[in-house]
């Protein structure tokens, strides 16, 4: 696609950006191209995925200044971009701007880790102390970015791999966010279970708060579906049972996940892992919502949550229903489009489940009931999964996923071993 065609695809309301004009314009142009390849979603739709306001994302691709790294990675991630590649592009643009003294949006310094080499994107890290560490954990590789901060593959002093989430600098300055974050981290550390990625350590008082969880060498359900297609029924029953057991462990600790969605379920050789349980609550009624940053994914937010009613464990059951539908079809149960339209369908219209098998549809319909008191209990869901998966008796093995999924996981395991 040539530049003129790409410009037409991007819409009439965005001013043209000449990629040859300079590093800022070139970076903005590449962001726009990524958005086109993602299907040209609206900035409102991107905001829901990225966790930043639509205006912040639009500004990132305006070509006037280089956006902060956090915003750039959130934009790229929402469009399906590789965070490592986009961090490398951002760093290159920043170096070029430093040479010609053009404006750059403030962002924390990014330096090579203790064993890193300048210019190697796999080694660039940013930490609470800006020296390649968050507490005792050596940060080695960026593996994700979202509305609360960036996530790094890191290692303990003894060499065990962990995932460290470093909170954004602006959130670290919000006293109410810090208070709630500390409470939720303390609660999350009480959660123990085979199908959860346990919170191992945290610093909620430092300059840049962070928390460390067990590292899971596998893709998220969202990324796996995007790259390898939907799961077969036999894998979905095992997925559903594992996620349900994780929800039991989370609820036993007195928590409601509140943000269960495909990107918060990781796929490992020995079953699924639920991540970010309870932490999302730290963002409620704080700096995030006051600045227009949106939490959650509309396809997986329970109607009572959207209507401002009390949030109970039944909200996680609703999200589980959406998760199962997504795993089976690669799409959410309430269609695509701008967020207000999707949210309206979540509250007022029945889900679209024609692509599901009869057995899966029966379970998903029950989980997606508009009234929380009519949704099934977690014990009943596990029983249903067992009855529908009699061939495996819900016994996970290293072959519980299709071959392409397993190859992806093995590749990640091999990559970690080389760091």
Phi, psi at 10, each rounded to 5°: -75, -15
Give the Cα separation of 219 and 196 in Å (integer): 15
- Lowest model confidence (mean pLDDT) among 79-93, 140-154, 264-278, 281-295: 281-295
**Percent of the chain with pLDDT strictly greater than 90:** 39
Phi, psi at 309, each rounded to 5°: -85, 175
Mean pLDDT of 121-144: 62
The H or E element that residue 244 is part of is helix 233-252
Task: Report how many helices (DSSP H) and strands (DSSP E) the chain contains, helices first.
Answer: 17, 10
The yes or no reply on domain 3-100 and CATH 1.10.3470 is: no
Per-residue confidence (pLDDT) for residue 386, from 0 to 100: 87
Per-residue confidence (pLDDT) for residue 13, from 0 to 100: 52
Per-residue confidence (pLDDT) for residue 9, from 0 to 100: 39
**Does the pLDDT of residue 295 top 80, yes or no?**
no
**Does the pLDDT of residue 365 top 90, yes or no?**
yes
Q: Domain extents for the chain?
A: 3-100, 112-215, 221-409
- What confidence tier does 103 reach under pLDDT thresholds 50, 70, 90? very low
Of residues 325 and 183, the one with the higher pLDDT is: 325
Domains 3-100 and 221-409 belong to one CATH topology: no
Give the Cα separation of 386 and 241 in Å (integer): 8
| Active-site entry in 203, 259, 316, 408 | 259
- Lowest model confidence (mean pLDDT) among 239-253, 258-272, 276-290: 276-290
Pairing of strands 210-214, 161-167: antiparallel
Asked if residue 288 lies in contact with residue 279, where contact means CB atoms within 8 angstroms, the answer is: no
Per-residue confidence (pLDDT) for residue 141, from 0 to 100: 84
- What confidence tier does 113 reach under pLDDT thresholds 50, 70, 90? very low
Of residues 284 and 193, the one with the higher pLDDT is: 193
- Lowest model confidence (mean pLDDT) among 105-114, 127-136, 341-350, 367-376: 105-114
Give the Cα separation of 129 and 144 in Å (integer): 20
Asked if residue 280 lies in contact with residue 257, where contact means CB atoms within 8 angstroms, the answer is: yes
pLDDT in tens, 29-82: 999 999 988 888 888 888 877 777 777 788 888 887 788 887 888 899 889 888
Give the Cα separation of 36 and 10 in Å (integer): 6
Dihedral of the CA atoms 181, 184, 186, 189 (nearest 10)?
Answer: -120
Q: Report the DSSP beta bridge partners of residue 167.
A: 149
Is 259 noted as a catalytic residue in this protein? yes
The H or E element that residue 246 is part of is helix 233-252
pLDDT in tens, 367-417: 999 999 999 999 999 999 988 876 555 566 778 999 999 999 999 999 888
Asked if residue 272 lies in contact with residue 243, where contact means CB atoms within 8 angstroms, the answer is: yes
Per-residue confidence (pLDDT) for residue 403, from 0 to 100: 92
Per-residue confidence (pLDDT) for residue 249, from 0 to 100: 94
Alpha helices in 276-357 (DSSP H): 287-290, 303-306, 314-329, 339-348
Which whole-number Å values give the CA distances from 230 to 174, 263, 332, in the listed order? Answer: 40, 15, 12
CATH number for 112-215: choose from 3.40.50.720, 2.40.50.140, 3.30.200.20, 3.30.70.1060: 3.30.200.20
Give the Cα separation of 266 and 412 in Å (integer): 12
CATH topology of domain 221-409: Transferase(Phosphotransferase); domain 1 (1.10.510)
Phi, psi at 219, each rounded to 5°: -75, 160
**What is the full DSSP assignment across 9-43?**
HH-TTSPP--TTS-HHHHHHHHHHHHHHHTT---H
Asked if residue 328 lies in contact with residue 233, where contact means CB atoms within 8 angstroms, the answer is: yes
Give the Cα separation of 94 and 88 in Å (integer): 10
Per-residue confidence (pLDDT) for residue 316, from 0 to 100: 96
Per-residue confidence (pLDDT) for residue 149, from 0 to 100: 81
């Amino acid at each position: 696609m040539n530049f003129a065609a790409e410009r037409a695809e991007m819409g009439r309301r965005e001013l043209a950006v000449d990629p040859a004009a300079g590093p800022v314009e070139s970076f903005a142009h590449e962001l726009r191209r990524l958005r086109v390849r993602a299907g040209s979603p609206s900035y409102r739709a991107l905001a829901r995925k990225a966790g930043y306001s639509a205006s912040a994302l639009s500004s990132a691709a305006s070509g006037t200044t280089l956006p902060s790294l956090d915003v750039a990675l959130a934009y790229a991630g929402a469009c399906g971009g590789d965070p490592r590649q986009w961090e490398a592009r951002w760093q290159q643009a920043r170096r070029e701007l430093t040479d010609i003294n053009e404006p750059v949006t403030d962002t924390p310094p990014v330096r090579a880790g203790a064993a890193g080499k300048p210019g190697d994107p796999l080694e660039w890290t940013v930490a609470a102390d800006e020296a390649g560490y968050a507490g005792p954990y050596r940060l080695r590789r960026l593996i994700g970015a979202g509305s609360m901060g960036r996530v790094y593959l890191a290692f303990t002093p003894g060499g065990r791999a962990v995932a460290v989430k470093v909170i954004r600098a602006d959130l670290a300055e919000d006293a109410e966010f810090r208070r709630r974050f500390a409470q939720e981290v303390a609660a999350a550390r009480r959660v123990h279970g085979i199908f959860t990625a346990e919170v191992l350590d945290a610093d909620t008082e430092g300059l840049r708060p962070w928390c460390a969880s067990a590292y899971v060498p596998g893709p998220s359900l969202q990324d796996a579906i995007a790259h390898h297609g939907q799961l077969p029924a036999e894998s979905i029953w095992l997925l559903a049972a594992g996620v349900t057991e994780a929800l039991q462990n989370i609820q036993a600790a007195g928590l409601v996940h509140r943000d269960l969605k495909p990107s918060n379920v990781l796929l490992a050789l020995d079953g699924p892992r639920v991540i970010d349980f309870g932490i999302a609550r730290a963002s409620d009624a704080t700096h995030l919502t006051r600045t227009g940053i949106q939490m959650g994914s509309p396809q997986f937010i329970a109607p009572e949550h959207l209507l401002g009613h009390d949030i109970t464990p039944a909200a996680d059951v609703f999200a589980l229903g959406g998760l199962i539908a997504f795993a089976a079809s690669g799409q959410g149960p309430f269609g695509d489009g701008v967020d207000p339209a999707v949210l309206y369908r979540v509250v007022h219209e029945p889900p679209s489940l024609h692509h599901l098998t009869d057995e899966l549809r029966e379970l998903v319909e029950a989980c997606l009931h508009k009234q929380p008191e009519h949704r099934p209990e977690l014990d009943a869901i596990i029983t249903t999964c067992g009855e529908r998966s009699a061939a495996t008796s819900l016994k996970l093995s290293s072959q519980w996923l299709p071959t392409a999924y397993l190859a992806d996981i093995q590749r990640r395991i091999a990559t970690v071993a080389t760091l």
